[in-house]
Amino acid sequence: MGEAVGPVFSVILPVFSIVLLGWWLAGRGRMDLPTLSNLALQVTSPALMFSVLAGAKVDFQSWGVLVAGTLWIALGTAALAALYLRFTGSGQRGLLLPAIFWNAGNLALPLARLAYGDAGLEAAAVIFVTVAILNSTVGLWIAKGENGLSEIIRMPIAYGSVGGLALAISGQTLPRPVMEPIEMLGAMAIPLLLINLGMHLRNLVLREIRHTVVVVAIRVMGGAACAVLFIALFGVTGVERKVLLLASIMPAAVINVIIAQRYSTDPALVASAVALGTLVSLVTIPAMLYFVG
């Protein structure tokens, strides 16, 4: 058992140590969080998506499985959250956000890379793009009641993803003097995302505990159940199986808090679910990595 636990913690410790660094830096108050967030979202993350997807071997069957699995998990947790809303009659539609949209970037990308190598990172990138599109359309519709297409058009990560995918499908490559700086910026993305996550967590507090616990349970346990069912029904194997299972238990993304605050959609509840879910992930992520192998 010790031989199996060692590799799990070799994946977990680097990731959460950088998150902890971000949490510590936020307490010192010497860094501008909005600037770092914009740098991560507007520059380094699009560069990462472009470089990862541009260098990927296009496998429409594999990518189709990942997209379908992501949609399946999102729909399943949405159904569970909607049932809870109807059962309680609370009318707090904001709880749908942390139940459906997980942290497919800050945590999932580095974890997939450390656990499953470049193949894991490519699979996680496909899931990340899918979740980002859902978050920017369905998520905004939930929070605002309007379509979020205009938000996607303004997201550089969409252009980075589409550009990288188009380059991979074409089979062409960019000259090294062009590709090199893109890859260098992309290499900054993962540590910068983790530092951002830690800094955001510093300011989150727990409120509305009953709803928060239920939402986190739906996100983690419901997500895992949906992933297991999808994998069993469609016979998913290999790195797709591993990354889908890992993705299914990711805590809610911090961007849900930003959306909820912007449109006044139960921001305290959403923030609580993000904070508690990330805390719980200290246990659930190692457990899933150990289970998957």
The token duo for 5 is: 């636990």
Q: How far apart are CA 116 and CA 111, in angstroms?
A: 8
Q: Which of 293, 274, 292, 290 is nearest to 107 (CA)?
A: 274
pTM: 0.83
Hunting for tokens 């200290």 — which residue is that? 282
Q: How far apart are CA 225 and CA 76, in angstroms?
A: 9
The per-residue pLDDT for range 189-239, each reduced to its tens digit, is 888 878 888 887 887 777 788 899 999 999 999 999 999 999 999 999 999
Average pLDDT over residues 111-116: 90
Q: 248 versus 6: which is more confidently predicted?
A: 248
**Side chain identity, residue 1:** M
The per-residue pLDDT for range 21-48, each reduced to its tens digit, is 988 988 887 777 778 877 887 888 889 8
Average pLDDT over residues 283-289: 91
Lowest mean per-residue pLDDT among 76-90, 104-118, 135-149, 237-251: 135-149
Q: How far is CA 71 from the centre of its chain?
A: 13
Q: According to the model, what pLDDT value does residue 1 have?
A: 46
What does pLDDT average to over the chain?
A: 86
The token duo for 25 is: 């830096």
What percent of the chain clears pLDDT 90, i.e. is strictly above it? 35
How many structural domains comprise the chain? 1
The token duo for 2 is: 């010790």
Q: Is 96's pLDDT higher than 90? A: yes
**Which residue range forms the structural domain that includes residue 226?**
2-292
The per-residue pLDDT for range 247-284, each reduced to its tens digit, is 999 999 887 887 787 777 888 888 889 889 988 998 99
Average pLDDT over residues 100-126: 90
Q: According to the model, what pLDDT value does residue 7 have?
A: 61
The answer to whether the beta carbons of residues 72 and 230 sit under 8 Å apart is: yes
Q: According to the model, what pLDDT value does residue 58 have?
A: 79
Q: According to the model, what pLDDT value does residue 2 have?
A: 46
The per-residue pLDDT for range 148-173, each reduced to its tens digit, is 556 556 668 778 888 888 888 888 88
Supply the CATH number for residue 228's domain: 1.20.1530.20
The token duo for 73 is: 């998990």
Q: According to the model, what pLDDT value does residue 201 have?
A: 80
- DSSP string for residues in 42-80: IIIHHHHHHHHHHTS---HHHHHHHHHHHHHHHHHHHHH
Q: According to the model, what pLDDT value does residue 225 have?
A: 97
Q: According to the model, what pLDDT value does residue 55 have?
A: 81
Q: According to the model, what pLDDT value does residue 98 have?
A: 94
